[in-house]
């Protein structure tokens, strides 16, 4: 059965408009837990509390506060924040097109497949034009009163829209100082590189499965039927003392395997 579209939109490139539908590309197969009150096994709720009076404050009555560098707190009421929300729109506006791959995957958040909304010819033409251009588009839109930015590109032959993270969300590695210390031994670097080479493989996503999920479900089943669970304790390995020795032994082991 076909999945349901989560949103209808119009991709706009200058004066060109292509009606599309968005479909989530993600299958949520993760195990979800609830936090419970141990005594009666009832789900707990999150509650806001005034720490001075210990009184509960309803979520709807709470407001937001912005703390300035000088220690002032500016109250932003619900009305304030609502007034700042962007106006509703169906438009996905493509600002510019960059060579595909210009946007590093670190910005990628959630992928959505696009499908035609009516005009199938227009949609096929969009896919074809993207393919010929070898480019991806930086797009922005407002969905359910929230601003989004994303990349419009192809996944195989299919147009996708992938939401991007915000610049403000990113902790940039370039602003961090890498760990320092005494210069590394070039021989050891060589050994480490050799080991990476020996373990080099093609990336095959089909060779990895979430096995843990099945184990959690089995554990739940065992416990639900009153079965006993044996606990094996996890161990944390100690740091290697002699790196050169550990690397040489690793290489020996891999050579034997090969």
Q: Which of residues 104-163 bind another protein (CB under 8 A)?
A: 105-108, 110-111, 113, 115-116, 120-130, 132-133, 135, 137-138, 140, 143-144, 146-149, 155-158, 160, 162-163
Q: How far is the CB of 10 from another protein (least distance, A)?
A: 14
Tell me: does residue 255 bind another protein (CB under 8 A). Answer: no
Whether the CB-CB separation of 244 and 185 falls below 8 Å is answered with yes
The structure tokens listed for 52 are 């001075």
Give the C-alpha distances (Å, rounded to integers) separating 22 from 9, 25, 92, 124, 148. Answer: 8, 9, 11, 15, 14
Q: What is the largest CA-CA distance in the chain?
A: 69
Residues that contact another protein, how many (by CB under 8 A)? 173
**Exactly one of 79, 82, 239, 256 binds another protein (CB under 8 A); which one?**
239
Tell me: does residue 257 bind another protein (CB under 8 A). Answer: no
Nearest-10 crossing angle of helices 243-257, 186-198: 30
Tell me: does residue 10 bind another protein (CB under 8 A). Answer: no
Rounded Cα gap, residues 164 and 158, in angstroms: 18
Give the residue among 85, 106, 102 at the shortest CA–CA distance from 153.
Answer: 102
**Exactly one of 9, 20, 97, 117 binds another protein (CB under 8 A); which one?**
97
Tell me: does residue 40 bind another protein (CB under 8 A). Answer: yes
Give the residue among 256, 241, 255 at the shortest CA–CA distance from 197.
Answer: 255
Give the residue among 95, 208, 104 at the shortest CA–CA distance from 152.
Answer: 95
**Exactly one of 60, 66, 79, 88 binds another protein (CB under 8 A); which one?**
66
**Exactly one of 228, 234, 256, 258 binds another protein (CB under 8 A); which one?**
234
Tell me: does residue 91 bind another protein (CB under 8 A). Answer: no
Tell me: does residue 45 bind another protein (CB under 8 A). Answer: yes
Q: How far is the CB of 246 from another protein (least distance, A)?
A: 5
Q: Which residues contact 139 (CB under 8 A, 6 or more apart)?
A: 11, 92, 93, 94, 95, 149, 150, 151, 152, 161
Tell me: does residue 78 bind another protein (CB under 8 A). Answer: no
Q: How far is the CB of 56 from another protein (least distance, A)?
A: 7
**Exactly one of 79, 179, 228, 256 binds another protein (CB under 8 A); which one?**
179
- DSSP letter at 257 equals H
State whether the Cα torsion 21-26-31-32 is positive or negative. negative
**Exactly one of 82, 88, 202, 258 binds another protein (CB under 8 A); which one?**
202
Q: How far is the CB of 15 from another protein (least distance, A)?
A: 7
Tell me: does residue 228 bind another protein (CB under 8 A). Answer: no
Q: How far is the CB of 89 from another protein (least distance, A)?
A: 13
Q: Which residues contact 26 (CB under 8 A, 6 or more apart)?
A: 110, 111
């Amino acid at each position: 059965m076909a999945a349901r579209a989560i949103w209808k939109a119009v991709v706009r490139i200058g004066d060109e408009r292509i009606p599309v539908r968005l479909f989530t590309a993600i299958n949520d197969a993760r195990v979800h837990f609830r936090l419970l009150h141990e005594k009666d096994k009832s789900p707990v709720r999150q509650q806001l509390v005034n720490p001075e009076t210990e009184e509960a404050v309803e979520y709807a009555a709470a407001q937001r506060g912005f703390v300035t560098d000088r220690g002032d707190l500016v109250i932003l009421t619900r009305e304030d924040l609502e007034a700042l929300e962007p106006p509703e729109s169906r438009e996905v506006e493509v600002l510019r097109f960059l060579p595909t791959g210009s946007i590093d995957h670190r910005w990628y958040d959630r992928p959505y497949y696009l499908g035609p909304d009516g005009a199938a010819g227009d949609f096929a033409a969009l896919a074809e034009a993207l393919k010929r251009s070898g480019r991806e588009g930086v797009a922005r839109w407002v969905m359910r009163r929230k601003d989004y930015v994303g990349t419009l590109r192809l996944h195989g032959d299919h147009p996708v829209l992938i939401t991007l993270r915000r610049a403000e969300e990113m902790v940039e590695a370039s602003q961090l100082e890498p760990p320092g210390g005494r210069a590394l031994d070039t021989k050891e670097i060589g050994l480490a590189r050799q080991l990476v080479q020996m373990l080099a493989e093609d990336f095959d996503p089909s060779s990895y499965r979430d096995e843990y999920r099945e184990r959690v479900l089995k554990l739940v089943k065992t416990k639900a039927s009153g079965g006993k669970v044996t606990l094996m304790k996890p161990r944390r390995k100690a740091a290697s003392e002699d790196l050169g020795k550990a690397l040489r032994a690793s290489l020996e082991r891999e050579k034997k395997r090969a």
